[in-house]
Structure formats: C-alpha cells, structure tokens
Amino acid sequence: MKKIALLVALIVIALAASACAGGSSYPSKPLEIVAPAGAGGGWDTLARTVQRSLETEKLYTQPTSVVNKVGGGGAVGLAYVFSKKADDYELVVYSPPLIINTLNKTFEQDYKQLTPLAKLITDYQVILVKADSPYKTLGDLIAALKKDPLSVKFAGASSPGSMDHLAIAKLAKKAGIDPNKLGYVAFNDVGSGLTALLGGNVGFMSTGVGEAIPQIEAKTVRALGVSSAERRGGVMKDVPTWKEAGVDVTYEVWRGIFGAPEMSGDAKKYWADTLKKMSASKTWKESLDKLQWVDAYADADAFSKFLAEEEKSYKELMTDTGFIK
C-alpha cells in the first residue's frame, strides 16, 4: 500500500509540474481590466467591450472585472498597472495619450515596459457643439477661432497637450490658427466635459466618435466635423470630414490592450490566441458596428512596431504644434 501511495504521489507531482511547464494552468484566477479614466470615455468603453466579448463568447474561463483608475490623463492608471508588475491577470487599455503623455513627461514611467498584446480598433475625433449653438458649421467655428482663439473655449477628457487637445491643435495649425492660443479645458471624463458643453461653459468639445454617438442620437448636441478621411455611416452620415469643411487634415485614434510589465510567456501566448479569436467574434463585431469603431486588429509584434512608428510621428507633431521642444 505504501508503494502504491508513493507512486500516486509521484504521478500527481509529475502532472502538476507538467502543467506548470506547459502553461496549461493559465488562466486560473479572475482577470482585471484597467480603464485609466472615468466611466463613459473611450478607455472605459473599450475595456467594457473587451470584458463583454470575453464573457459572452466564453473565451475567458474565470471571472472578469473592469476597474476605473482616474486622474492625470491616464497617469494614475499607468502607475497602478506598474504596481502590478509580473501579474498575469492585469490588463490595461490605452490609446495615443500613452505615447503623448510619455513624450510630454506627464507619465513618470516608460510605456515601453508594458506588454503590448494587440491593437484593436481605430476611432476618430469629432467636434461637438450644443444643439442650439450659433456655430452651424465647422467653417463658422474656425472663423471665430481665427478672429480670437480664446473666444471659444473647448472641452476634452484628456490632459492639456494630450489627445483631445492635440487633435484640435493639429486642425487649428492647418487652418492658420496658433494652436498655443487655444482655450482648452481638461476634464477627467467625457461625461463631465459634456456637462460643461451642455451648460454653456465651453463652446465646443473634442472627443471620440464612439463616446459622442449617444448624445448625437439624443439630439442634445450637433457634430460639426469628424477627423476621418471619409465620412462615417449611420448617425454620422451627414457629418462632414474636416477635409470637406476646408481643412486638409485627418486624425486617427487607435486603441489597444496591454499586459502589465514582465507578463509571463504563458500568459502572452494565451492572450495572443484569445484576442485574435475575440476580434473575429460576433459579439465583438456587433459592438464595433454600434460604436462606429473600425476593426484594426494587429498582433503583439505588429502592434509593437506600430507603437514605435507612432512615437516618431507624435514627436514630430508635438514639436510642430509647440507642445514639446
């Protein structure tokens, strides 16, 4: 009996060792997806869309949750993820501010230490005004800004010099307006910015199409222009591009997902397979259609190369618009 018990014990140990070596024990814990901003914004929407897709398609076998870490244009969220170094059950979603806020020193950490997992979608910037705004067209707004850039303040849900601000700065510079004279008011979340817009505290708002759609559908706001190269469909079909409005410029908002620094090889392999399946799933595609997001899936290697190219591009743009020297 002792020999049998010893043999069973050895088999159990061997199986456990084999499972650990092969990575088959992952995932074995709940997953946390960090949205480094408040509810309702692009990061929050993406995190919850990923969570819903993983759950609905049964792609992740453990419980999942989304946690909002608000502040500093994503700095609070980034610091939180860095505190979870080597934690395979910590993911975070980001977009251009990850690079922008590294270049302008808003972030203390180096984003390159995160573990790129996949580029997921492309969104675009849209300029919103109140439904009863005196600015009927983007041309009207640009004319007012040319006359006096500070006469029309605008809201965004990213820190000064980051995405919502920088998109309008790029537009302004192309239109012959000094981007450093614009009156930008930063908020921690899209909801607060929309409240300021609807309350008449700012003249317009810069935000992503996905976040703007509910307000456009409710007819509380009007969209004056979108930063895509071509018009969008659905509720955005009558909204001209910035190019159509007379300013030959576009602005793309990519969004992707990362693991914590020093994520294990087993976890990276799991997410490479899982995110690819998710991006092809019915639930994911239906969400993209609803939010007017463009599928831009790229695996970890392609995403890493893309990020390096984006850093070069943003450094040039931010130097050109005066946000870094």
Q: What is the mean pLDDT of residues 154-176?
A: 93
* Residue 12 pLDDT: 39
Q: Which CATH class is domain 124-252?
A: alpha beta
- Which pLDDT score is estimated for 1? 52
Domains 30-123+254-320 and 124-252 share a fold: yes
What are the structural domain ranges in the chain? 30-123+254-320, 124-252
Q: Which of residues 191 and 7 earns the better pLDDT score?
A: 191
**What angle, rounded to 10 degrees, do the helices at 282-291 and 209-217 form?**
70
pLDDT digits (tens, 9 = 90+) for 279-290: 999 999 999 999
Q: Give the bridge partners for 43, in sequence order.
A: none
Instruction: Say what percent of the chain tops pLDDT 90.
Output: 83
CATH superfamily, domain at 30-123+254-320: Bordetella uptake gene, domain 1 (3.40.190.150)
Retrieve residue 40's tokens: 């309702």
Q: Which helix (H) or strand (E) holds 171?
A: helix 163-174
Q: Is the pLDDT of residue 7 over 60?
A: no
Radius of gyration, alpha carbons of the chain: 22
Q: Report the percentage of the chain scoring pLDDT > 70.
A: 93
137 within 8 A of 224, measured Cβ to Cβ: yes
Main-chain dihedrals φ then ψ at residue 178, nearest 5 degrees = -70, 110
For 284-311, letters b (16+ CB in 10 Å) and e give beebbeebbbbebbbebeebeebbeebb
Mean pLDDT for 195-215 is: 95
* pLDDT value at 8 more than 60: no
